[in-house]
Amino acid sequence: MNTVRDHLKGDKQYTIITTDSFGEGLQMKGSDVDVMFVMNNMEVSEDTHIYCKVDGIYFTMEIEDTQPGFTKLRLAHCNYQNIFEDCEEIGSNFYFSNSSFKQAFKNNTLPTVHGPCVSDESGIVDCAYCLHSKLWIKPAKQWVTRSKNEWPCYYVKQTIVKHGVLFVPIGVKGSAKEDLEWRISFSVGEKMLINTFTHTQLLCYVLMKIVLKDIIDLDRDCKELLCSYFIKTILFWICEELPSSIWKPENLIVCYMRCLRRLIYCVEYKVCPHYFIPENNLFENKIQGHAQEALLKKLYILNSYGWKCILLSDQISNVKALAFDISEESSYLHVKSVENLLSNGMCIAEILYSTYYFLFEKVIYKTLSCKSLKIKYLYKYFLSKYCTKRKQLLPFDDISGNKSTYTQYNTYISTLLLNTRHDAVSGWLMLASFFYRRKHYNTVLYIVRYSLTKCSPMKLHKLIKLSDIYHQIFNLQLFKNMNIVQSWRFLLLDTVSLAENFTLVPEELQMIETFAIPPVVYAHTLCFLCHFRLHNRRQCWDTIRTLQWTIEANYYIENKVLKGLSYNILGICFQYLGDQESARQSFVYSTKLFPNQKFNIAFHML
């Protein structure tokens, strides 16, 4: 799902790549969201003699005085003066500063620099802005011919080489020129390698990550000494060394213990060669002294338990319980996969990606040319979800009798109808917003009533924890025959996102800067506004009481922030009815739920 979204959300400025556990499809407890934004207007080359486009920015690599796996980037061509502000002049050359580069991407949402990334305050989202070389580089050429084993196969190697390499803004810690060094990254190649894993290889990888996060990192003396990247690197080496015939389900325990013992070996000898550039020792100056002793002690204890060491993780407890009831296992796993797709990480990814436009023609081509029915459904899902974020969907000018306006009107209607196919109601409410701005209030009321019939109590929403009743729902033959994307149209109540569709926001709500609104709240809000415009005062009061009950009951409201936003909307509605005291109480409730003065307008409304 992440890969399909990556393919669609790139634009002329960035190519977007979801990486690490979340991008690999291994959403685990404690996983954050790691996204790489590749700068499309900048290019890196190993060759000093390169063809440069007039409007491009080009750098060449200099690795002579850097550690393996790192490089300095010398500016080779640029017609933009501001790029020199992010460079340091040494002699007659200008070298790109990784620290200045990262500072340029800090904002209110991502205010913190964390390694090569800019991150949110909670540390859940890490965004790495990086550069790209279209060609494979000499330090990694030996990887292409190094192994004659079955894994990775020739086709996979050539695909990885064809992509090239990335450069992320971080240098060697303590280096004299740390701010001018860039780490050579093979994130895309590593993601491709993970995708070639057999089920047994993937299980070994997951089990090693679980042991790291749930057991090793919980030890105060061992916390943050190891990371998932080390585990991944060790898996890659073992996969290359062992024949494919070994990686069978009946050999899972043997393969897992081999991985664990290789990790112990690496810690003992303080060596973990980078998979693509072996001269780069990932453990250099990282695990030594008391830290090494404490980590080895922990690893020796785990090794003494054998494969049973994984049972020390609470993530394994569900598997143990299910082992005694195979009949419930498939139902449990299906419901768990649904819950993961509605999780915090997926929500953050969708919010993060929603700020980028996509090329409509590209999505149509991907949908029509895709051979896999499952992938085709994913393309259709994202086509529906993000179609209103097209750059072609310009503000609508209401000039009656104008032929171009008529064409524009039909484009809007067609796009908004397409937007109804990814969940049960949010697209219909977007369509209702369009008609509200056109002052077709009775049409809006009709669409809202239709939408509310879909908002029954057993629907799904983001961040929901699924109870036993959902096991029964997904066991119904109707939903057994559907994939998850198809079931969303019947069961999912997504928030109404108007952030990138400002022309659809009712004038009465345009003072609110965050436009992700709970669906039932927005439905009753539109209903209230229509009755207000139609001077139906009694219906206004009836609707506002229903809206107030909806908010108090947390009816399909995912979190406190959205509840605070809902109280802001309620307060605005009370103001239109002249009930200033009820409006003030609503804004007070909002400040308690969402106490952020910068982003919550309730503080300015009091």
pLDDT of residue 337: 61
The answer to whether position 45 is within a domain reads yes
Which of 291, 324, 357 is a domain's end point? 324
pLDDT value for 447: 95
Q: In this structure, what CATH number is given to the domain that contains residue 245? A: 1.10.1410.40
Same domain (yes/no): 53, 159: yes
E strand or H helix that includes residue 185:
strand 181-185
Residue 5 lies in a domain: no
Asked if residue 52 has pLDDT above 90, the reply is no
Give yes or no: residues 130 and 239 share one domain.
no
Question: Is residue 448 located within the same domain as residue 597?
Answer: yes
Residue that finishes a domain, picked among 281, 297, 324: 324
Least confidently predicted of 64-73, 117-126, 384-393, 484-493: 384-393
In the prediction, which pLDDT does 325 show?
Answer: 44
Is residue 348 predicted with pLDDT exceeding 70? no
Number of folded domains that form the chain = 3
Same domain, 376 and 253: no
- Name residue 93's beta-bridge partners: 90
Higher-scoring residue by pLDDT: 242, 383: 242
Do 228 and 134 belong together in one domain? Answer: no
CA 18/CA 231 separation, integer angstroms: 19
Does 339 lie in the same domain as 418? yes
Same structural domain, 276 and 348: no
Q: Does 288 fall in a domain?
A: yes
In a shared domain, residues 563 and 414: yes
Buried b (16+ CB within 10 A) or exposed e, 345-376: bbbbbbbbbbebbbbbeebeebbeebeeeebb
- 94 forms bridges with which residues in the sheet? 89
Does 387 share its domain with 485?
yes
Position 230 in a domain: yes
Q: In what helix (H) or strand (E) does residue 157 lie, and over which residues does it extend?
A: helix 154-163
Dmax (CA) of the chain: 82
In a domain, 190, yes or no: no
Kindly calculate the radius of gyration of the chain based on its CA atoms and give it in whole angstroms: 27
Domain that holds residue 164: 32-185
Q: What is the DSSP string of 531-589?
A: HHHTT-HHHHHHHHHHHHHHHHTTTT--SHHHHHHHHHHHHHHHHHTT-HHHHHHHHHH
Is 508 within the bounds of a domain? yes
Q: Does any domain span residue 282?
A: yes
**Count H helices, E strands: the chain?**
26, 14
The answer to whether residue 445 is domain-embedded is: yes
Average pLDDT estimate for 54-66 = 89
* pLDDT tops 80 at residue 398: no
CA gap 94, 91 in Å, rounded: 8
Per-residue pLDDT averaged across 520-543, rounded?
95
Burial of 6 (0-12, 13-18, 19+ CB in 10 A): buried
357 and 383 part of one domain: yes
The answer on pLDDT for 339 being more than 70 is: no
What rounded mean pLDDT belongs to the chain?
83
Please say if the pLDDT value at position 386 is more than 90: no
Q: Provide the 3-class DSSP secondary structure of residue 340.
A: helix
Nearest CA among 573, 570, 440 for reference residue 518: 570
224: left (phi over 0), alpha (psi -120 to 50) or beta: left
Which three-class secondary structure state does DSSP give residue 253? Answer: helix
Q: How confident is the model at residue 9 (pLDDT cuts 50, 70, 90)?
A: low
pLDDT on residue 23? 65
One domain, residues 284 and 168: no
- The CA dihedral of 41, 45, 48, 49, to the nearest 10 degrees, is -70
In this structure, how many other beta carbons lie within 10 angstroms of the beta carbon of residue 165?
26
Name the residue among 44, 107, 111 with its Cα closest to residue 78: 44
Q: Is 405 found in the same domain as 464?
A: yes
Q: How far apart are CA 153 and CA 465, in angstroms?
A: 41
In order, the DSSP letters of 256-295 are HHHHHHHHHHHHHTT--B-SS-TTSBTTTTTS-HHHHHHH
Question: CA distances (Å), 554 to each of 151, 449, 467, 468, 550, in order?
Answer: 52, 20, 17, 20, 6
Please give the pLDDT value at position 515: 63
| Domain boundary residue, one of 303, 324, 345 | 324
In this predicted structure, the answer to whether residue 272 has a pLDDT above a threshold of 70 is: yes
Asked if residue 341 has pLDDT above 70, the reply is no
As a whole number, mean pLDDT of residues 126-142 equals: 93
Helix (H) or strand (E) holding 227: none
pLDDT tens digits, one per residue of 550-600: 999 999 888 888 999 999 999 999 999 999 999 999 999 999 998 888 778
SS3 398: coil
